[in-house]
Structure 1
Amino acid sequence: MKATQTQLQTLLEAGQFDAVQTWLEPMLSADVAEVIDELPETLQAVAFRLLPKNDAIAVYEYLSPRVQQALLEDLKNPDVLDIIDRMSPDDRAHLFDELPAKVVRRLTLQLSPAEREATALLLGYPPDSAGRIMTSEFVALRATYTVEQALARIRRLADTSETIYTLYVLDNARHLIGALSLRDLVVAQPEQILQDLMRREVIYLHTHTDREQAARLIQRYDFLALPVVDSEQRLVGIATIDDLIDVIEAEDTEDIYTAGGVQSRGEDYFQTNLFAVARKRVVWLFVLLLANTGTSAVIKSQAALLEQVVVLAAFIPLLIGAGGNVGAQSSTVVIRGLNTGEVRPEQMGYIIAREALAGLLLGVLLGVMVTLWAFVLQRSWGVALAVGISLVAISLLAAVAGSALPFLFKALKLDPALMSAPFITTAVDVLGVLTYLKVARLILGI
Structure 2
Amino acid sequence: MALELEEISLQQKFDEVIASENKLQIQDFLNNQNISDVADLIYNNEDFENQIISHLSIHRAVSVFKILELPTQKRIIQDLPPFKTAELLNELPPDDRTSFLSELPGNAVRELIKTLNPDERKITLSLLGYPENSVGRLMTPDYVYVYEYDSVEDVFNTIRRYAKSSETIDVLYVLNDKGELLDDIRIKDFIMASPDKKVSDLMDGRFISLHAEDDQEVASEVFKMNNRVALPVVSKSNKLLGIITIDDVLWVAEEEYSEDMQKIGGTQALDEPYLEMPLFKLFRKRIGWLVVLFLGEMFTATAMGYFEDEIQKAVVLALFIPLIISSGGNTGSQASTLIIQAMAVGEITISNWWRVIRRELIQGIMLGTVLGLIGFTRVIIWAKILPGLYGAHEVLIGLTVGFSLVGVVLWGTLSGSMLPMILKRCGADPAVSSAPFVATLVDVTGLIIYFSVAYLFLQGILL
Change (3 A) 1:51 1:139: same
Give the CA deviation at 1:257.
0.6
Q: Secondary structure at the match of 1:238?
A: strand
Q: Identify which of 30, 35, 47 aligns with 1:24.
A: 30
CA distance in 2, matches of 1:8, 1:318: 60
Change (3 A) 1:175 1:31: farther
Corresponding residue of 2:353 = 348
Q: Identify which of 427, 431, 434 aligns with 1:417.
A: 431
Aligned-residue RMSD, C-alpha = 1.8
CA distance in 2, matches of 1:198, 1:32: 44
Corresponding residue of 1:204 = 209
Write the mapping of 1:15-54 to structure 2, written as runs, cut at 5 A: 15=20, 20-40=26-46, 42-54=47-59
- Gaps (5+ residues) in structure 2? 385-393
Corresponding residue of 1:110 = 115
Moved over 6 A (4+): none
Q: Does 1:92 align with 2:97?
A: yes
Q: Identify which of 391, 395, 416 aligns with 1:402.
A: 416
Instruction: Confirm or deny: 8 A CA contact 2:58 2:91 kept in the other structure.
Output: no
CA distance in 2, matches of 1:370, 1:172: 75
Corresponding residue of 2:390 = none
Corresponding residue of 2:396 = 382
Give the CA deviation at 1:428.
0.6
Instruction: Confirm or deny: 8 A CA contact 2:54 2:84 kept in the other structure.
Output: no
Q: For 2:278, give the aligned amino acid.
A: N
Q: For 1:89, give the aligned amino acid.
A: P
CA distance in 2, matches of 1:13, 1:261: 46
Q: For 2:43, give the aligned amino acid.
A: D
Q: Secondary structure at the match of 1:14?
A: helix
What TM-score, normalized by structure 2, do the two folds share? 0.92
What TM-score, normalized by structure 1, do the two folds share? 0.95
Q: Does 1:229 align with 2:243?
A: no
Instruction: Confirm or deny: 8 A CA contact 1:11 1:20 kept in the other structure.
Output: no
Q: Secondary structure at the match of 1:237?
A: strand
Q: For 2:369, give the aligned amino acid.
A: V
- Gaps (5+ residues) in structure 1? none
Write the mapping of 1:13-412 to structure 2, written as runs, cut at 5 A: 14-15=19-20, 20-40=26-46, 42-378=47-383, 380-412=394-426
Percent identity over paired residues: 35
Q: Secondary structure at the match of 1:180?
A: strand
Instruction: Confirm or deny: 8 A CA contact 1:142 1:194 kept in the other structure.
Output: yes
Q: Does 1:439 align with 2:442?
A: no
Q: For 2:45, give the aligned amino acid.
A: L
Q: Secondary structure at the match of 1:264?
A: coil
Q: Secondary structure at the match of 1:199?
A: coil
CA distance in 2, matches of 1:212, 1:32: 31
Corresponding residue of 2:440 = 426
CA distance in 1, matches of 2:32, 2:18: 21
Change (3 A) 1:443 1:135: same
Give the CA deviation at 1:378.
3.1
Give the CA deviation at 1:442.
2.6
